[in-house]
């Protein structure tokens, strides 16, 4: 297979949250391969540093900033560091998330607040910090990561699903607010993407994977790169009149 390269991304500053591993790392690799200047944030310092070092020989070395995205002040500082290194951001990919399972009956207020912080609150405040940079440029694209979890009603993900549904509402409202400045805001809702973490924590049994695959119309498993390919399109000029959308990459899951 061969995939599209987007010339309009060359030289543009792209910021990815949660970019050290999994789907986030696929975003970092994809944007760097398309000639973008990539900055990414993640709490996983060793993995983030290793990814930036690994890409240094292939593309312009991405700028990695270690950041706890549940800390709003730290988000602002980290995004400021990326701007100082790479210039104002034309693209923001709000990817960071944690799909920790909880028993609904026993979930505490502290656990709920933590899930909102790691899955939704940083999306709001990262966008708040980046939108002025996009206004300065006169254009921009924000891609927020949602999930099929809120559409399908997956057990033990009540708090996570609530956050991912909130991201779609935020996407729709922000798109209306910043559209006049030619800033586009869209969301991606992935289906079953089997990252290393997903296999380690939630899909240890091949029968679980096959059950998920059976719900798809298409037989192939969804790879992180499939999600990254959509993010590239939504960030590039090719999608210049696409905004306020939530697009699902799910293989046609029922």
- pLDDT tops 70 at residue 20: yes
What mean pLDDT comes out for the span 123-148?
A: 98
Residue 150 within a domain: yes
Over residues 118-140, mean pLDDT: 98
Range of the domain at 37: 9-249
Residue 38, pLDDT above cutoff 80: yes
Per-residue pLDDT tens for 68-109?
Answer: 999 999 999 999 999 999 999 999 999 999 988 899 999 999
Catalytic residue among 125, 150, 160, 170: 160
**Sequence-ordered list of residues with C-beta below 8 angstroms from that of 128, at least 6 positions apart, any chain:** none
Q: Mean pLDDT over all residues of the chain?
A: 94
Any domain includes 55: yes
Query: What average pLDDT score do residues 167-177 get?
Result: 98
Q: Does 2 reside within a domain?
A: no
CA angle (251 as vertex; 246, 254 as ends), nearest 5: 85
> What is the structure's pLDDT at 1?
83
Confirm whether 183 is domain-assigned: yes
The answer, yes or no, to whether residue 251 has pLDDT greater than 70, is yes
Number of domains comprising the chain: 1
96 in any annotated domain = yes
H/E element, 186: strand 183-190
Q: Which long-range contacts (CB under 8 A, 24 or more apart) does 78-81 make?
A: 78/41, 79/15, 79/41, 79/126, 79/129, 79/130
> Does residue 93 form part of some domain?
yes
pLDDT, tens only, 191-246: 888 877 766 665 677 878 888 888 899 999 999 999 999 999 999 999 999 999 99
Tokens of 73: 């002040």
Q: What is the mean pLDDT of the segment spanning 149-168?
A: 92
Q: How does residue 254 score in pLDDT terms, banded at 50, 70 and 90?
A: low
Q: What pLDDT does 245 receive? A: 98
Confidence band for 58, pLDDT divided at 50, 70 and 90: confident
Task: Tell whether 189 is covered by a domain.
Answer: yes
Distance CA 242, CA 254 (A): 25
- CA 137 to CA 154: how far, in whole Å? 40
CATH code (residue 109): 3.40.50.720
**Token pair for 161:** 């699903």
Secondary structure of residue 145 in the 3-state scheme: strand
Amino acid 155: pLDDT: 85
CB 148 within 8 A of CB 191: yes
> Catalytic site residue 160?
yes
Question: Is position 49 within any domain?
Answer: yes
Q: What is the mean pLDDT of residues 126-148?
A: 98
Residue 210: per-residue pLDDT: 84
Q: How confident is the model at residue 154 (pLDDT cuts 50, 70, 90)?
A: confident
Place of tokens 């270690």: 66
Number of other CB atoms surrounding residue 129 within 10 Å: 20
φ, ψ dihedrals at 94, nearest 5°: -85, 90
């Amino acid at each position: 297979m061969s995939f599209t390269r987007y010339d309009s991304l060359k030289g543009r500053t792209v910021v990815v949250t949660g970019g050290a591993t999994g789907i986030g790392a696929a975003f970092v690799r994809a944007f760097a391969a398309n000639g973008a200047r990539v900055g990414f944030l993640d709490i996983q310092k060793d993995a983030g540093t290793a990814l930036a070092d690994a890409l240094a020989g292939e593309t312009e070395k991405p700028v990695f900033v270690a950041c706890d995205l549940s800390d709003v002040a730290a988000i602002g500082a980290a995004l400021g560091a990326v701007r100082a290194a790479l210039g104002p951001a034309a693209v923001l990919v709000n990817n960071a998330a944690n799909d920790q399972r909880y028993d609904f009956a026993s979930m505490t207020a502290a656990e709920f607040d933590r899930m909102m912080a790691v899955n939704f609150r940083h999306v709001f405040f990262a966008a708040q910090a980046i939108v002025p940079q996009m206004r300065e440029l006169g254009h921009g694209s924000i891609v927020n990561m949602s999930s099929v979890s809120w559409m399908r009603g997956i057990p033990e993900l009540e708090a996570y699903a609530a956050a991912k549904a909130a991201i779609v509402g935020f996407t729709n409202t922000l798109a209306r607010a910043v559209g006049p400045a030619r800033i586009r805001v869209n969301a991606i809702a992935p289906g079953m993407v089997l990252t290393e973490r997903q296999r380690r924590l939630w899909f240890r049994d091949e029968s679980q994977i096959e059950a998920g695959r059976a719900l798809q119309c298409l037989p192939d498993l969804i790879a992180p790169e499939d999600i990254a390919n959509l993010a590239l399109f939504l960030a590039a000029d090719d999608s210049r009149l696409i905004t306020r959308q939530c697009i699902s990459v799910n293989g046609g899951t029922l």
